Structure 1
Amino acid sequence: MSSFAKFNIEGPNVVEFLQYLCSGNVNVPVGSIVYTGMQNEQGGFVSDCAICRLEEDQFFAIVPPVQQLRFCLWLKKWVKKLGHKIYVGDVTGHYTVLDVVGPSSRALMEKLTGESMSRCDFPSFSIREIAIGMATGIRALSLTHTGELEWEMYIPNEVNDIIFSHLFESHRCLFLRFMNRAYLMLK
């Protein structure tokens, strides 16, 4: 997931802007995630993405790596064309992404954060900021690609070492295995 492109999109008209470009309704409560497509004027496919609402006027978009440049250019084209005051920032290089997957993933996430990760407190298709030890600013998403319990952690690069230290300490209690591409599988 680290290779996926990541964008901050924000501004006073950001909801109107994204509603115009996305086929899915992105006017959702703060903390929600919408998986949607973007189409061109003829209805053709431009991109698929996960749009995460961080604040009333701030979104975080996750896009497949092959669509990074296309997505960025598409957004900037429409910012100019529509005359909106929208900031589009490519933050792909700012984060390392760690996928925590499996039946014990909730227990690990609760151990790492000291917070409840129950379905009531952290429902599917939601995002919130978490802290692990002294590491803050981690964007945690409850989003599954496998059908299993899954959290994606978007970790600011400057705190990677802290996170991996906590994971290695936790692996003794839970049956944690590191998989290729930094995916975690929990038995």
Structure 2
Amino acid sequence: MPPLPISAFVVLGLLDEQGDATPYQLRRMIEKGLGNFWGFPRSQLYWEASRLVRRGLIVERREQGGRRRRILAITEQGKDELRLWLATPTQALSEIRDEGLLRLYFQPSGSEVTEQQGETEELATVSRLAREQHAAHAARLEGYVAATSAMRPGTPQRAVLELGLRFERMVIQFWREIEQSPADLRRSAQGWDPEQRGDHGDGRDRT
């Protein structure tokens, strides 16, 4: 039997933590918590629930009346699978998919913008991007602060949220600096020669 993907352990972990839940309730839990650091499409949630039922790691029942919603619950086998995964060492690193950074990365450098008008427009674009990203991350930070106040200190969940707070503050500072001095990106790129510096793009000096 093929190994379970990480998304399966998201479902198992939530059911182990919260108890019985409908797929909709699981989705709301993701949106309010771990969705902040682990993207999880809604369609994948329903697919994983069905897969875990087939493998006997969760059970499904229907409400007797009303909307006859699907109620999911983790089995003892599912709990064993979750504990084994939690105890398995990992060297997995963070993956960042940030559209703001992607847009900044592909902005023309100082050597690619020669006309003064073009440079002015490019600087305005960078400044606007930084301003928008600054505002977006400030709003997310505000949400994290509110969530922290409602979470008991000294828990693993609170620790993860604390890391989110630190990360957002760092990102806000980054975009604030870009917003205040977008021309610095042009200035540092002009006249730069990686061969003269001994920098071959891998961070090592070969001079």
TM-score between the two structures when normalised by the length of structure 1: 0.25
Larger Rg: 2
**Relative contact order higher in (CA < 8 Å, ≥ 6 apart):** 1
Larger fraction in strand? 1
Larger fraction in helix? 2
